[in-house]
Structure 1
Amino acid sequence: MKNLESRTKKLLLLGAAAALIVLAGGVGLGQVLAIMSAAPEVDREYSALETTVVYSRDGELLAGIYEEDRTYVELERIPQQLQDAFIAVEDRNFYSHPGVDPRAIARALYANLRHGEIVEGGSTITQQLARNLYLDAERTMTRKLKEIRIALDLEQSFTKDEILEMYLNHIYLGSGAYGVQAASQRYFDKDVEELRLDEMAVLAALPRAPNYYSPLNNPEATEARRDIVLQRMEQTGYLSEDLARRTAGTPLETVDPEQETRAWYFVDHVRRKLLELFDEDEVFGEGLVVHTTLDIEAQAVAEEAFAEAVETGRIPNSENEDGDPQPQYAQVFLDVHTGAVRSMVGGRGDDEFNRAELALRHPGSAFKSFIYAAALSEGRFPGTVVNDIPRVADHESVANDDGPVVWPRNFDDQYRGLVNYRRALSRSINTAAVEVLRDIGIETARRHIAGYEFSSLTENDGVEDHYAFALGGLERGVSPLEMAAAYGAFAAGGVPPEPFAIEKVTDGEGRVLYRAPPREEPSGEELYERYIRRGVAPGYIEDFQVEPALSRENAFLMSDMLRTVVEQGTGIGARLEVPVAGKTGTSDDNADAWFVGYTQDMVMTVWIGEDASQPMQYTVNTSDIEITGVHASLIWGDIMRQLVDSDSDAGEAFERPPRVQNVSIDLFTGRPPGAHSAVAVDELMIDDEPDPIPIEIAIHMPAYLTLRRYLAGIPEHRPEPISEVELDPPRIDAVVFEPILPVYPIDRGQERQYLGSPEGPFGPVPLGPAEIELGGTEELKTADGEVFEGVYVIDRYEPVQAINPATGLPVGLPPGLSVN
């Protein structure tokens, strides 16, 4: 009987509404009923697109990811005054009409006829919901008829409270916000339960014209419409006259819309990762709850450090042709042990390109670390000696038709002769890095570097004779994110941490949909607690026996060498009160500036560069500056000093494996010191056996080889041990076509030191200190066609190498002598 009464009531209402429309529009009753019967069927299960919300590791809201920004809230969470406000201004008879209000329709029809067009809808809250759920916004009689039919069906399918709940969650409220919770966050940065009365009235003011009345677009119109809402609430008995009047005088206060998304680049990174895990419809419409790895403090510190660098001029502030600020910058901060991304900065400006993840840039000298790591893996150690001298290029990649080309060159065109790995890396010596690569072979280096899992390397990186590979000369480049992970291998005992940003994802009810795989094989207890007990299968099936990029011992040796870079070399701007290891990098023509550094727990990349990959040369306050890796290291240090507590575990040194031993070596041979070793130094190596690699291969220095053999084989000509004499380094002009060794001028009558005896078969070899000018003739050019000029700087007690009369460059062998 009740269903019959309901059906009869519905038919009567349909008839009344149809009659009004027939009278107003002159259409046939049959046509009206046909249109109504074609309306979509009401779905008994309400669903709407919901915003995926992203939280930091500390539970702070970062942003929403959505097609429609909506967060569903149940009616009991929505304040009663907010419900009253919407009812008062949108549908005062909501709880008494059956979905359609004939009096409102008649009033609207009269207004429309008077104006000759549709100017008033007369829609109830139920009709507005019907339109938003099932119809478009076109103002036609056909749509209005369907709206009426759907509204009546909704009233038959849901209670009044359910309809109001759906409406308050579904309605568009301007500035991209759907529903009262999203609008509350968008305009006031509050949950809906925290709204004041004046703020509730603002939300209720919006449905009439959401974008026009948005407080972000038209605050004066918003205030006027808000006051109308308060007046209607008083007229309908929801507010006293005094309260309505006092509330109407409240100044309108909204949040800065620019602050609505925190850590934008990180959230963008999370969005891409979510789309790898879930369907697009799930990410943009099912209200996922995403718990991430972001550290709010670390993110804020990084952003502030870059902002301060721009303000102080450390990073210049210019623009490209499109008006985008240049140079750009990026930063990534990872947990060394887990790979968790703690902060990410992807640039500045409005272009939304995430350079931390997506930009592929040439790493310059920051790539040298992997060449040295490859050499350590082949049996070398930090004391292995290479020859830092300029050479005439012998491969096509830098060939020049105008004559001999000097390549590689050091950035300052100073060449230091015999240097060990530690010094070569700390000074970022280009010639030494190329010699290391020549020694171990390009194929060996390429195979080793594959262990760091760079995704952007191509088959052209590390081809035969591609010695620029040692200097970061890559076809495509690498990203700041992957550089951080690769350096993390040195801090993490040889295994590169796999970066991840999402800890877990749940649905709105808290059910776990995804959990990040553990970084190491979980115990049975952990598997039970995290997965089995909750009825969730682990989101991974993998072997935890991860292949390291290098051994634990060699990872420590690399960290110790890279500590020297920070403490004594090019990375000194990154020094902290705790042990830090890292490397600067500056690509060709200063197009990219890097610093990648780490403590025992954290690794961070800082990159600076022009989007167009052009030289970073600027004029700031009338001074010309050129951005290099040193600038990146200074910003790295600014960030880390605020994040690292010297009293915490982060202040501890890198853990030294038991097999790494202290040894004493000859500075200029890398071998155990002998009776005539000029300088002996302490160094580290695995176990206590000297490097088994022959010195001939290790340093490419035939003159010193010959000298060593001479000293070992002709005892009667061994000189006495060298006594220390203070000498000022003389300047010696290199005579291209005459050898330097037989004649060595003595400055101001000081006694010059020699190694060897004049009566020996090879004559005496002079020792440093000295400085010899190189090049300066038209016969010797650089790769860009300029005349090569450099200085050969010889340390105290270091053997002086001969000058090749054909090139004017050191070759290490007196003319006419054989290395056999």
Structure 2
Amino acid sequence: MFGKDLEPKPQTNWRGESGLKLPFYRRVWFSALMALIILASVAVLGIYAVVVAPLREKAEQYDLEEIRKLEAASIIYDRNGEELSRIYVLNRTPVPIKEVPQDFINALTAQEDSRFFQHDGVDYIGLVRAVYLNFKAGEVTQGASTITQQLARQTFGLMEKSYKRKIMEAFVAQRIERKFTKSEILELYLNRIFFGKNFYGIQAAAQGYFGKDAKDLAIEECATIAGLIKSPNNIEPIRHPERAIKERNYVLERMVIEGSLQRDEAERLKLKPMVTTPQSSDPRLSYVFDEVRQEVVSLVGEERASIGGFQIYTSIDKDLQKAAETAMKKRLAEVEARNGYAHQTYTQFRGILGEWFKKKNQGTLSQDEKRPMPEYLQGAAIVMDNSDGSILAMVGGRDFIDSQYNRATDGVRPVGTAFTPFVYAAAFSKPGYFPMTPLADEPLDNRRVMIGGLTGILGEWGMEVDDPKWSRNPISAREALVGSHNSATVRLGERVALEGGRIRQDFRDFTKRAGISTELREFPSTFLGATESKLDEMCLAYSCFPTLGKRPAKQHLIQRITDFRGKTVFQLDEKTLQPVRAMDEIAAYQTHTCLSEALHRGTGSPSIEYGLGDFPAGGKTGTHYESKDLWFLGYTSAVTCGVWVGFDKQKTIYPGAFSNKIVLPIWTDIINASTKGRAPQDINPPESAERIEICRVSGLRATDFCYDKVKGPDGVERSVRSTYSEYLRPGTSFNTTCPVHTGEGLPADLQAFHQAITQTADSALLAQAGKFANIEAVHLQDPIILGADPYNAEKPILRARPVNDDGTPILRAVPVGVDEGDADEQPVIKLKPPPAMKIEL
């Protein structure tokens, strides 16, 4: 052809001769096309040599025997590096392919890979179709990974989102297809794939969603599980039944299209409701280990977690964890043993569950008989390190096998009067409020609070006694918090945190900074803990008090994770360990001193009977209305511990069930155990605070007369100083002194002097008070009687006095008159003579 057409020939049309026509291979467009083809070929060869060939070579290096190996056990270590447990991060029970129903294989291939039995690991038709649809949509809407490619990705951790990963995945998939049969590939895939909620593999999904083995799944159940693969957590049928139904019906429709299901059968199945059974638990887990497992999945991702073999270093204290679990079970069993206890007990539920399993094994269960759920009294506890927020112990319930609901991290319940310290801390942060601020202790109309009704008088259940009384006299803010007086607390809250009948924004901000992230209710009932909160965030908030207003930025359970090669895949960053300022240091310390007294002489005082050790600590009871939710939150300088007790379905535990009877014993056992290796230290006041001495009787500044007669064990009555130290913000005006202790029986001049400085004398004495204005009190320096004291004389309180470095007292100037003093004793002042004056004329 090329030899005969060397000469161009003229062309003729209706317009005449148009000229000569060149052959196509000599035209410009042909040359350009050939150049592009050559360039494209060179580019393709270059890309293959530079990109594809190395990836193919690397794909040959993967050991395909790893596909048969499912998750390796992960080891959990405590904070001291001791092994706590070996767990499987993923809930998986492998089954052979012969135990997987054909209906499920049909549903799987119709949904995920319709040409599975025809391709070599890569579905080229599907790949072209996906590229076209994605280009048409302008975004990635279609995937083209076959079942074999998904198996390769999950086995070898090919998680990177890039074209290189897709090419590598395709090469590995082709190798898998050459090594394994299609049945083997299906078995390996179905035992590895994630189906949502911590169900890995077809058997775990069948048990978790439908309470049966995989071999017993019905067609619509097969379609439901197959429909989960593309987005397991967003479709799983327990939480999202409507989404699961929609996806199930789509899979049924695909089965009709692929010819594995008749149309009329599919339409009948589409009308069925979504019926699931409660998931069963892994008996190898506990609440704290399950929390570790979930956190690992969150930190490293679900697909990476499927490999397993992690070394997980936690903050858990093994001994303290055991003590917390033991205390919870022991103390709640004591509550259930109480005479007249009217609710289901833990022991009774064991019998109920045993009967259900007996019927199940005998095949006599009716269709409506679901696995019984526990209704016995539950509890939760958290122990947190104050310095960095690390969790030392966690109890999420009484029995993980009965209920996997973690009440320590997920439970949201009214806090009750355990919330009140934040009302006082917010007040102490404002000028003019401090622990001696007087509050009215008298009945309050419940219409101002609206707890338990809209009428009547607000109850004083916060005092945690069977017959609470109002003093009907002003009491200090300290006494109101120590004794948990509801009415006084509401009155304080109205003054500092209420505006227009609603909670002020600055108070909301204050509680959020403290660590309480749940939104506060709008009304004054919030002051008594009507707002629901979580145990973990309440522990975080209470840690502000022993740390003088600083708290950890967040709580954490896992400190470090390494993979089976020893490579670190997670490390807690330093920022997480840094404390944050949550409240004013003086307000935090003032609240702490109140909570310390609340524990030892207030609503928490029964802790002494329960065996509380002799160490510095503070805490507050928390009883919600009608004794439905009980709390105790407290701390030492080292740790903060919170405990909650109640029913999953809220109800009264029993009339008069206060937290200091039920929760406080648990807290006491745990806090005692926490002191081993973490000796509590004194919590010292801020350096900027000013110390004053307060009379315990009057609540005002103490005088030298603030003593009370106390009869000792020997029957002898002695005078005991009745004061304590208070620390105030600099510049706080509080100068009124005690009017109760008047020094009865002292000489009249001393009484007059005392009455003058306390400004409580009658008018007759006030007229003479001026002459005592400059009198300084005389303090005894040494004991009056040496040896035996037959008269039982009062012993002087030795006080510090200023001295020089050599121990001699510092002399003070004494005012004297013109004629006073001996001239001979007056010092002689000698002056140097002035220099001679020279006068020049």
TM-score by structure 1 length? Answer: 0.50
Change (3 A) 1:391 1:509: same
Task: Report the equivalent of 2:586.
Answer: 553
Task: Report the equivalent of 1:654.
Answer: 683
Is 1:579 the equivalent of 2:613? no
Helix, strand or coil: the match of 2:408? helix
2: CA distance, partners of 1:178 / 1:419: 61
What is the CA-CA distance between 1:633 and the residue it aligns to? 1.0
2: CA distance, partners of 1:436 / 1:654: 26
What is the CA-CA distance between 1:670 and the residue it aligns to? 5.2
2: CA distance, partners of 1:514 / 1:51: 18
Contact 1:386 1:432 in 2 (8 A): yes
Task: Report the equivalent of 2:284.
Answer: 261
Is 1:281 the equivalent of 2:303? yes
Task: Report the equivalent of 2:271.
Answer: none
What is the CA-CA distance between 1:493 and the residue it aligns to? 2.7
Task: Report the equivalent of 2:314.
Answer: 292
> Which residue of the other structure, out of 489, 492, 497, is the alignment partner of 1:441?
497
Alignment of 1:682-721 (within 5 A): 682-686=724-728, 689-691=731-733, 721=742
2: CA distance, partners of 1:293 / 1:66: 21
What is the CA-CA distance between 1:392 and the residue it aligns to? 3.0
Contact 1:387 1:432 in 2 (8 A): yes
Contact 1:325 1:348 in 2 (8 A): no
> Which residue of the other structure, out of 437, 440, 443, is the alignment partner of 1:390?
443
1: CA distance, partners of 2:745 / 2:469: 25
Alignment of 1:82-121 (within 5 A): none
Task: Report the equivalent of 2:45.
Answer: none
Contact 1:294 1:342 in 2 (8 A): yes
CA-to-partner distance for each residue in 1:532-575, whole Å, 9 max, x for gaps? Answer: xxxxxxxxxxxx6x641112333222222211111111112443
CA-to-partner distance for each residue in 1:472-500, whole Å, 9 max, x for gaps? Answer: 011xx111111111111112231222210
Is 1:319 the equivalent of 2:344? yes
Is 1:469 the equivalent of 2:526? yes
Alignment of 1:451-490 (within 5 A): 451-458=513-520, 461=521, 463=522, 466-474=523-531, 477-490=532-545
Change (3 A) 1:304 1:433: same
TM-score by structure 2 length? Answer: 0.49
CA-to-partner distance for each residue in 1:363-387, whole Å, 9 max, x for gaps? Answer: 1111011111111111322222212
Contact 1:420 1:667 in 2 (8 A): no
Alignment of 1:475-514 (within 5 A): 477-497=532-552, 498-514=554-570
Give the counterpart letter for 1:326 in structure 2.
Answer: Y
What is the CA-CA distance between 1:419 and the residue it aligns to? 1.8
Change (3 A) 1:69 1:441: same
Helix, strand or coil: the match of 1:343? strand
- Higher Rg: 2
Give the counterpart letter for 1:61 in structure 2.
Answer: S
What is the CA-CA distance between 1:720 and the residue it aligns to? 11
Higher mean C-alpha deviation, range 428-437 or range 674-683: 674-683
What is the CA-CA distance between 1:446 and the residue it aligns to? 2.6
What is the CA-CA distance between 1:306 and the residue it aligns to? 1.8
Alignment of 1:147-158 (within 5 A): none
Is 1:63 the equivalent of 2:87? yes
2: CA distance, partners of 1:314 / 1:67: 34
1: CA distance, partners of 2:419 / 2:282: 37
Contact 2:314 2:559 in 1 (8 A): yes
2: CA distance, partners of 1:399 / 1:353: 28
Helix, strand or coil: the match of 1:578? coil
1: CA distance, partners of 2:413 / 2:317: 26
Helix, strand or coil: the match of 1:330? strand
What is the CA-CA distance between 1:691 and the residue it aligns to? 4.4
What is the CA-CA distance between 1:298 and the residue it aligns to? 1.1
Task: Report the equivalent of 1:699.
Answer: none
Alignment of 1:234-273 (within 5 A): 261=284, 264-273=286-295
2: CA distance, partners of 1:368 / 1:382: 14
Task: Give the gaps of 5 or more residues in structure 1.
Answer: 1-40, 71-129, 135-149, 180-208, 212-256, 522-543, 619-624, 696-707, 712-717, 726-754, 760-820
2: CA distance, partners of 1:62 / 1:573: 40
Q: Share of identical aligned residues, percent? A: 22
What is the CA-CA distance between 1:643 and the residue it aligns to? 3.3
What is the CA-CA distance between 1:422 and the residue it aligns to? 2.2
2: CA distance, partners of 1:265 / 1:565: 31
Alignment of 1:158-237 (within 5 A): none
2: CA distance, partners of 1:279 / 1:294: 23
Higher mean C-alpha deviation, range 310-319 or range 653-662: 310-319
What is the CA-CA distance between 1:421 and the residue it aligns to? 2.3
Give the counterpart letter for 1:419 in structure 2.
Answer: I
Contact 1:362 1:592 in 2 (8 A): yes
Give the counterpart letter for 1:445 in structure 2.
Answer: F
> Which residue of the other structure, out of 625, 630, 634, is the alignment partner of 2:665?
634
2: CA distance, partners of 1:720 / 1:557: 26
Helix, strand or coil: the match of 1:455? coil
Contact 2:596 2:618 in 1 (8 A): yes
Alignment of 1:332-351 (within 5 A): 332-349=382-399, 350-351=402-403
Task: Report the equivalent of 1:381.
Answer: 434
Give the counterpart letter for 2:571 in structure 1.
Answer: R
Change (3 A) 1:509 1:272: same
What is the CA-CA distance between 1:65 and the residue it aligns to? 1.3
2: CA distance, partners of 1:687 / 1:275: 48
Change (3 A) 1:757 1:485: same
Helix, strand or coil: the match of 1:496? strand
Task: Give the gaps of 5 or more residues in structure 2.
Answer: 1-59, 95-147, 153-171, 202-212, 216-279, 350-371, 499-503, 709-721, 747-759, 765-841
What is the CA-CA distance between 1:668 and the residue it aligns to? 7.6
Contact 2:449 2:458 in 1 (8 A): no
* Backbone CA RMSD of aligned residues: 5.0
Task: Report the equivalent of 1:354.
Answer: 406
Give the counterpart letter for 2:618 in structure 1.
Answer: A
Helix, strand or coil: the match of 1:582? strand
2: CA distance, partners of 1:596 / 1:719: 36
Change (3 A) 1:273 1:550: same
Helix, strand or coil: the match of 2:631? strand
Alignment of 1:790-809 (within 5 A): none
What is the CA-CA distance between 1:271 and the residue it aligns to? 3.1
CA-to-partner distance for each residue in 1:303-333, whole Å, 9 max, x for gaps? Answer: 1112222443467684299551421100111
Higher mean C-alpha deviation, range 652-661 or range 409-418: 409-418
Give the counterpart letter for 1:652 in structure 2.
Answer: Q
Q: What is the number of equivalent residue pairs in this alignment?
A: 478
Give the counterpart letter for 1:356 in structure 2.
Answer: A
Change (3 A) 1:440 1:678: farther
Task: Report the equivalent of 1:368.
Answer: 420
Contact 2:598 2:605 in 1 (8 A): yes
Helix, strand or coil: the match of 2:397? coil
Helix, strand or coil: the match of 2:679? helix
Task: Report the equivalent of 2:71.
Answer: 50
What is the CA-CA distance between 1:437 and the residue it aligns to? 0.8
1: CA distance, partners of 2:649 / 2:75: 33
1: CA distance, partners of 2:333 / 2:704: 58
2: CA distance, partners of 1:389 / 1:577: 35
Task: Report the equivalent of 2:480.
Answer: 424
Give the counterpart letter for 1:421 in structure 2.
Answer: A
